[in-house]
Structure 1
Amino acid sequence: MARRAESSPMIGGSRRLGWPGGRRLRIPSLMYHRLTSHPDPHPCSMVLGQFRSQLKILRALGYRTVSPRDIARALRGGSPLPTRAISITFDDGYVDTFTAALPILKEFGFTAVCYVVADRVGQLSDWTEPAPLMGWPEIREWLAAGMEVGSHSRTHRDLTVLSAVELQDEVAGSRKLLEDRLGSTVPTFAYPFTVHGPREREAVEAAGYEAGCAGVKLHDSIFALSRVEVAANSLSWFLIQLFPVYPELHHLYVLSRRRAPWLLP
């Protein structure tokens, strides 16, 4: 679940990471949370039919899904990505990610990563209004369907306010718990509320993750990959979010709201 933007985009300094050969290429990465059968006022929810329409558009445009791990490996100079690559992620591990999103993903031939809150598996979310979360059997079926699992910490707390010991437990401890229970590698981490700074990014790297996922950012870095939170807006707006310049548009919108809030909703 996203809460506020962070201001320091790079790990270890301000150097902009580029693709091999000096070419800059921004891969759209979509962040979803809940899928519902009826409209829900919560900003992180989306109606099933709208999600299906979005995937239909992605398939019609020739997009192919890759994972944040694939993006990180490409940034490190590994295997090249498809021309129209896109990453689909779900935060929190809600039951409807398994019951509703998975069948639609399979229908359109897409894969996705679900970021699970390790200590809340099979329980109710307690960082927003209570909602059922996937249990271990559902998570294993998600993996068996060709999807991927990442860590969203142990308890979904704001990592920036934790002690060093608590931070390590949330980042490294969650990975160990998930890997022990699932018997498979957990390669990437998504910051709760998308909040992070240099200390949190360093903790993710030290825990052995290949990448860290954030919210929408002007620049990608391996441990703060930019993601767009997809809201229940029009399909036209969804198409705009796919544009490589969307992070710049979002940045300008945020600045405009701060400086002239009376001009924008």
Structure 2
Amino acid sequence: MLKDLSKKLLYVSGLLGLYHRFRNADSLTVVMFHRTLAPDDSRWRSCDPDYTLATDRLGESLAFFKHHYNVVSLAQVLASRRSGTPLPPRALLITFDDGWADNADYALPELQRAGLPALMFVVADAVGTTQPFFQERLIAAWRRDALRVADLAAALQPYLTKTWTPADESIGSLREAIAQLEQLPAAQREAVLAPFMAALDDGLRHMVDINELRQLEAGGVALGLHGKTHTPMTVAPDLDAELTGARVALANLLGREPSAESMSFPHGAFTPAIAQQAQEAGYELIFTSVPVLNPVAPQVGWLLGRTGFETDSVVDRRGRFRPDWLALYLFRREARRLA
């Protein structure tokens, strides 16, 4: 209790804010979101809780950003990279990964109410589809009581080199099973999932469509790429398809020439060689999931860190948004160039 009170006092007194104003004046903070949903939305009950923020919590986070940072657009970061145009002190860029339809339903109105720009990284092949990636579909089915971890583990067993048995029916055990699935070749993974496909379809639409992409762009949300298929690029069978192919696919969907200047790595997976290949494929700004702040002098780098946070990082046990927690989480990050 005393520790929690000290956090509140540090924040309310303004000392944390003062520390941030001086320490992070010459850094670009990039924050990473995935989904945002209202609790009365039918998709809420089965979404992945680790990657979904309630809409009111997003609104409170945006208000926090406006208070402590100067929120910038992709265009401003590109201008700094290209010409050395200074970014404002304590610059912050808001990003969303994957291309969820709820970003158009809920995040866009919150951003517009706050008057803030953002950047969405889209999985090209997921645009216009209904069901999400297999990881999220498994978690959704488990949360709807349509899937048992033990049954998934039994289906996995013939394809594993080492015996693995889930400890229980918890979401932690399910995430372990998903990690095992991610290591399998696509054909084997499809064989494991085949008996569960009916249970993995909840009949709802989760991914953004073309009209929503245009709506997001018109509302101040720039578009970047998050791969073509959402495959981790460290294991992608065709890396060029995930890089160049993604840009071409999105451009074809939108009916224009390939022009996406930015991308982020699916699952945060990359190597220095992959990052270099992405730059050679035409991406000027490449975003990782390395949780560091980005120095901006003499100009913004091309390989950038991002910091994501979950509900538990900003909401206490009583369900209250905690700006002091968020301040301590973001303000103290290491500032470091990744390339």
**Alignment TM-score, normalising by the size of structure 2:** 0.60
Say if 1:35 and 1:72 are closer, same or farther in 2 by CA, change over 3 A.
Answer: same
Letter in 2 for 1:66: S
Secondary structure in 2 matching 1:27 = strand
How much does 1:146 deviate?
2.0
Letter in 2 for 1:214: T
- State whether residues 224 and 261 of structure 2, in contact with CA within 8 Å, keep that contact through their aligned partners in structure 1: yes
Asked if 1:198 corresponds to 2:267, the answer is: no
Following the alignment from structure 1 to structure 2, what is the Cα–Cα distance between the partners of residues 90 and 74? 21
> In the alignment, which residue of structure 2 is the partner of 1:28?
29
Q: 2:263 pairs with 189, 193, 205, which one?
A: 189
> In the alignment, which residue of structure 1 is the partner of 2:233?
159
Asked if 1:59 corresponds to 2:90, the answer is: no
> In the alignment, which residue of structure 1 is the partner of 2:326?
238
Q: Which ranges in structure 1 are unaligned for 5 or more consecutive residues?
A: 1-22, 249-265
Letter in 2 for 1:60: H
Say if 1:36 and 1:193 are closer, same or farther in 2 by CA, change over 3 A.
Answer: same
> In the alignment, which residue of structure 2 is the partner of 1:254?
none
How much does 1:127 deviate?
4.1
Following the alignment from structure 1 to structure 2, what is the Cα–Cα distance between the partners of residues 179 and 84? 33
Q: 1:224 pairs with 286, 303, 306, which one?
A: 303
Say if 1:58 and 1:98 are closer, same or farther in 2 by CA, change over 3 A.
Answer: same
| Per-residue Cα deviation, 1:114-172 (whole angstroms, up to 9, x for no partner) | 11000111212114223611001100111111220000001000111234xx0000111
Show the 5 A alignment for 1:13-92: 25-38=26-39, 42-61=49-68, 63-67=70-74, 70-71=76-77, 73-75=79-81, 77-92=83-98
Q: 2:222 pairs with 134, 139, 148, which one?
A: 148
> In the alignment, which residue of structure 1 is the partner of 2:189?
none
> In the alignment, which residue of structure 2 is the partner of 1:257?
none
Letter in 1 for 2:284: E
Sequence identity (%): 27
Following the alignment from structure 1 to structure 2, what is the Cα–Cα distance between the partners of residues 127 and 35? 19
Say if 1:198 and 1:24 are closer, same or farther in 2 by CA, change over 3 A.
Answer: farther
- Point out the structure with the larger helix share: 2
Give the count of matched residue pairs: 222
- State whether residues 35 and 97 of structure 1, in contact with CA within 8 Å, keep that contact through their aligned partners in structure 2: yes
Say if 1:219 and 1:55 are closer, same or farther in 2 by CA, change over 3 A.
Answer: closer
- State whether residues 127 and 208 of structure 2, in contact with CA within 8 Å, keep that contact through their aligned partners in structure 1: yes
| Per-residue Cα deviation, 1:184-211 (whole angstroms, up to 9, x for no partner) | 6311010001111022112211111111
Following the alignment from structure 2 to structure 1, what is the Cα–Cα distance between the partners of residues 92 and 56? 20
Following the alignment from structure 1 to structure 2, what is the Cα–Cα distance between the partners of residues 66 and 50? 21
How much does 1:73 deviate?
4.5
Following the alignment from structure 1 to structure 2, what is the Cα–Cα distance between the partners of residues 223 and 159? 18
How much does 1:176 deviate?
1.1
RMSD of the alignment, in Å?
2.4
> In the alignment, which residue of structure 2 is the partner of 1:179?
251
Say if 1:219 and 1:57 are closer, same or farther in 2 by CA, change over 3 A.
Answer: closer
> In the alignment, which residue of structure 2 is the partner of 1:129?
136
Larger Rg: 2
Say if 1:117 and 1:98 are closer, same or farther in 2 by CA, change over 3 A.
Answer: same
Following the alignment from structure 1 to structure 2, what is the Cα–Cα distance between the partners of residues 209 and 47? 32
**Alignment TM-score, normalising by the size of structure 1:** 0.76
